[in-house]
Structure 1
């Protein structure tokens, strides 16, 4: 895709400006790669933390989509969107007004963790009836890459767990370090033993 974009820009400079090409490539890397990696990372950790649920998915591969959607609900890969600013006063009711010019932060992860919408929202449950989330946004701003991201996760996860049936975290989960990011939501790294815990662990 990068080569195609560069070829289009070189063939006809009016089709893509330098800024447009760089912006598109940045979106491919940031939005099209890091976010999908985040979903896969979180799903791996949750399944290793819940071996009973991992076994359910192994017995019924049609449930990998449940894994992906429950992971997206609980761990949105983009937790906060950069600031927006109110262009007019916004009355939210109950005495809450966002004044014109005030900053607004969109929290995509809040919906999936709302206790008014999801029972025991902090737990990972494949059998949860309502896995609704806003991890990909909503309405006209819904992420155009959402189907591809979910497809990639639905391919990567069963392949990983089929290849490494005894995959195990190499450190306790609470020792994993989060990315130092206000926007992205992922671990810096996830060290694993591909063939199970060593006998002296």
Structure 2
């Protein structure tokens, strides 16, 4: 699925350049594996350095762009200097690395920044899942205007869980893009739409579920 990301910035030469972001060897590493995010720019006119971000809900203090028909923001990774050469490697992928990522490049004199890349998901799978994503009704095929709810069942006393998804909708069923919620609580909607179709994942502080694909079609 290709997701268009358009940057809202002032005029600069970088607005004509969009990096390409990819994940190798794949976007679904098992916990403990090595995974690399690669940011590439075909324009060779500048000596590029690269910046790495995770996608978060819109915040006025962060750079923003349009994503899934709404506004999202990009939060710079605290250790993004590791990606200065165009690659950002996680030698030991962990549950908390599951997120949506973008990159952009910086170059020129005076320095300017390019557009953001398209959004790329990284889902870290656990060898023995410590959480289960519970879907009600319990099926992968759902219909518009019929209720749909999501919750996370954890195997310990974790106080919270996160729900992450990749769909064509800015917000999932009655939940923000990344939800922090009490274990056992529920996100629900009485009117799901086709844009809610996508990959869903949940996790607690001790482990996560495997991703689940949900399809919503018209009745």
Q: TM-score, normalised by structure 2?
A: 0.23
Considering fraction of residues, name the structure with more helix. Answer: 1
Q: TM-score, normalised by structure 1?
A: 0.24
Considering fraction of residues, name the structure with more strand. Answer: 2
